[in-house]
Structure 1
Amino acid sequence: MIRGTARDHALYAAMTSIWGASFFFTALALRSFNPYMVVLVRMAVAAAVLGVVVRARGLSVPRERRTLGHLLVLGAGNMALPFTLLTLAQEHVTSSTAVVLSATTPVFVFLIASLGLRAERFTVGRLAGIGTAFAGMVLLAGGGVELWGWPLAVVASSALFASGNVYTRRRLPHLDPAVIAFGQIAAAVLCLLPVTALTGHLEVGEVRPVPALALLELGLLASAAAYLLYFRFILRWGSTAASVNTYLQPFVGLLLGGLVLDEAMSGRQWAALGVILAGLLVFGAARLSPGRARRG
């Protein structure tokens, strides 16, 4: 159990719910916008909102080359690339499948912090949890060793998010969460705009109200608000603890996908979800306190 105030846990629950619903809203946005435009507009709206927040709070945007370099790396690798992969994948897999496969992020965070940085303890219990969770991912993707194609793209995006999570904690602990969020998302827009234009995807067809509102939600809540909270928790609790929210997102995503989008789950998919959640219970059996997770 992560320690914190009642307000911390309420904000964490809000962030988790927002991101769990983002797969549903992405599916709606894709009904009128191509994947590249979904990501670009989402990031542009978030950057505009966060820019206002930074200015209203009197925060200064860093000008040191090293810090700007870190933000540019994160904008490309922690925002632009993984969100593009994830949104492209949602044209081929259901939102329910995407939200469950995305639950691999905290596992990747732990593996990076443990094997790469030696900042987390690698225990038998956690190894069992990781193995169980990945077995569930394979089962969900098709069984056996058939984890390939677009399901693999979702898992790859999770690995990129995990890397950015740890990188942010290690390289930018001195910045305010609002500045981190604004810097990364603004950098993502700078990366996405030329790529979207050069690939011929800077176009919009007939825009219907529901997809437009869904895209606005993705910018305002799933990007601007959620990342303000997320970077706050990374700095307060550490990389692994902050990323655990992705294990809880499937409950929201599956509910919306099943009830609103009518995405039926097969028996194998429900079994896979059960295996993944069992992995979560095993992986999280060791108590995760801010003091221990902070090093990650």
Structure 2
Amino acid sequence: MAAALLMLGLTFSWGLNGVAVKLSNEGFSPVLISIARSSIAALCVFAWCRWRGIPLFERDGTLGAGLLAGALFGLEFVLIFWGLDFTTVARSALMINTMPFWVLIGAHFMLGERMSLLKLGGTVLAFAGVALVFSDRLSLPDPEALKGDAMCLAAGIAWAATIIVIKRSKLSSASAEKTLLYQLAVSAVITVPLLGLSGPAIRDPDVLSTSALLFQAIFIVAFTYLLWFWLMRRYPAGGLTSFAFLTPAFGVLLGGLLLDEPLSPRIFAALGLIAAGLVIVNRPTRKIPPA
């Protein structure tokens, strides 16, 4: 029961994150937000590791994979933040949360994890939902939103690629804190050269946009990510990942409720298809006992 309540809180927080990004974009450029978010969160995670005595600097063969994972992490969040300059929170939440399906495809070809027909069916459902989002004109704020949708879809692919890198490398046996710190520290550094791409770094900062940025860095990244890793160690992964469909659901609803974004019937239909796909692909595979 406690794990279920925590997962509800986490998925709600991750759904709310899109709203926070949209608000912080009012005060700062997307690339600056990515740099600041990763930098602040990295300092918080580093302080946590020092307090808990978690080793970070021993040679364990994770450096190369850590640098690659960090680069992908940085690309993912630049695409998300920049994409939200163009599209809505609801549409972006559906695009980003296609990640499990890209992982499923990547694992089939790169990790030797065979995709069952049932999981293939779940993936097809999800991509039907993606097609609905791109075809929906009622929730489209303007034609440039399609650019933001594509960016957020690419962010979901980058997120999946990060997971594949972790699974294929020695990062899979490293502590969650070290893996997260690689992603935060590397992404903060490598995105600096991109600072001029999304316009002026400082737009119109105020209390709300600054608070939204700090909320993302301190609460979403430094707290909820570590809490997620703690839950993954303590409880069966299958039970936790069954909550995955709630993140896009909360993202769609919170975008409509808090930002007054248009929510068309087609967006809700897309949410239903993607949620159904998530439930299917996260179902544990039944193992047939030997005869």
Question: What interval of TM-score do these two structures reach, taking the shorter chain for normalisation?
Answer: 0.7 to 0.9
CA displacement at 1:255 relative to structure 2: 2.2
**Do the aligned partners of residues 39 and 241 (structure 1) sit closer, same or farther apart at CA in structure 2, a change above 3 Å counting?**
farther
Aligned to 1:215: 213
Alignment partners' CA distance in 1, 2:130 and 2:237: 22
Aligned to 1:83: 77
> Unaligned stretches of 5+ in structure 1?
1-5, 292-296
Alignment partners' CA distance in 1, 2:173 and 2:82: 34
Say which of 105, 121, 129 aligns to 2:122.
Answer: 129
For 2:127, the aligned partner's letter is F
Q: Is the Cα contact below 8 Å between 1:102 and 1:246 reproduced in 2?
A: no
Secondary structure of the corresponding residue to residue 265 of structure 1: coil
- Of the structure 1 ranges 200-209 and 28-37, higher mean CA displacement relative to structure 2 is found in 200-209
Aligned to 2:139: none
CA displacement at 1:241 relative to structure 2: 7.8
Alignment partners' CA distance in 1, 2:211 and 2:285: 38
Say which of 73, 86, 92 aligns to 1:92.
Answer: 86
CA displacement at 1:17 relative to structure 2: 2.0
Alignment partners' CA distance in 1, 2:185 and 2:242: 25
Say which of 112, 118, 130 aligns to 1:118.
Answer: 112
Q: How does 1:98-177 map to 2 (within 5 A)?
A: 98-119=92-113, 121-142=114-135, 149-171=147-169, 172-177=171-176
**Do the aligned partners of residues 282 and 50 (structure 1) sit closer, same or farther apart at CA in structure 2, a change above 3 Å counting?**
closer
Q: Is the Cα contact below 8 Å between 1:136 and 1:276 reproduced in 2?
A: yes
Aligned to 2:284: 287
Q: Is the Cα contact below 8 Å between 1:46 and 1:220 reproduced in 2?
A: yes
Alignment partners' CA distance in 1, 2:154 and 2:62: 26
**Do the aligned partners of residues 24 and 288 (structure 1) sit closer, same or farther apart at CA in structure 2, a change above 3 Å counting?**
farther
Alignment partners' CA distance in 2, 1:81 and 1:175: 22
Q: Is the Cα contact below 8 Å between 2:89 and 2:251 reproduced in 1?
A: yes
Alignment partners' CA distance in 1, 2:198 and 2:261: 31
TM-superposition CA deviations, 1:109-140 (whole Å, max 9, x none): 11111232112x42221111111110110111
**Do the aligned partners of residues 11 and 71 (structure 1) sit closer, same or farther apart at CA in structure 2, a change above 3 Å counting?**
farther
Alignment partners' CA distance in 1, 2:219 and 2:155: 20
Q: How does 1:1-296 map to 2 (within 5 A)?
A: 6-64=1-59, 66-77=61-72, 79-119=73-113, 121-142=114-135, 149-171=147-169, 172-196=171-195, 203-232=201-230, 246-284=244-282, 286-287=283-284
**Do the aligned partners of residues 16 and 30 (structure 1) sit closer, same or farther apart at CA in structure 2, a change above 3 Å counting?**
same
CA displacement at 1:278 relative to structure 2: 2.9
Number of residues of Structure 1 aligned to a counterpart in Structure 2: 279
Alignment partners' CA distance in 2, 1:14 and 1:234: 15
CA displacement at 1:13 relative to structure 2: 3.1
Q: CA RMSD in A?
A: 2.9
Identity within the alignment, % = 26
TM-superposition CA deviations, 1:80-124 (whole Å, max 9, x none): 1010011111011100111111221111111111232112x4222
Alignment partners' CA distance in 2, 1:187 and 1:74: 8
Alignment partners' CA distance in 2, 1:157 and 1:106: 12
Alignment partners' CA distance in 2, 1:238 and 1:193: 38
> Unaligned stretches of 5+ in structure 2?
137-142
Q: Is the Cα contact below 8 Å between 1:109 and 1:240 reproduced in 2?
A: no
Q: Is the Cα contact below 8 Å between 1:105 and 1:243 reproduced in 2?
A: no
**Do the aligned partners of residues 239 and 192 (structure 1) sit closer, same or farther apart at CA in structure 2, a change above 3 Å counting?**
farther
Alignment partners' CA distance in 2, 1:192 and 1:18: 25
Q: Is the Cα contact below 8 Å between 2:26 and 2:203 reproduced in 1?
A: no
Alignment partners' CA distance in 2, 1:130 and 1:208: 42
CA displacement at 1:201 relative to structure 2: 5.8
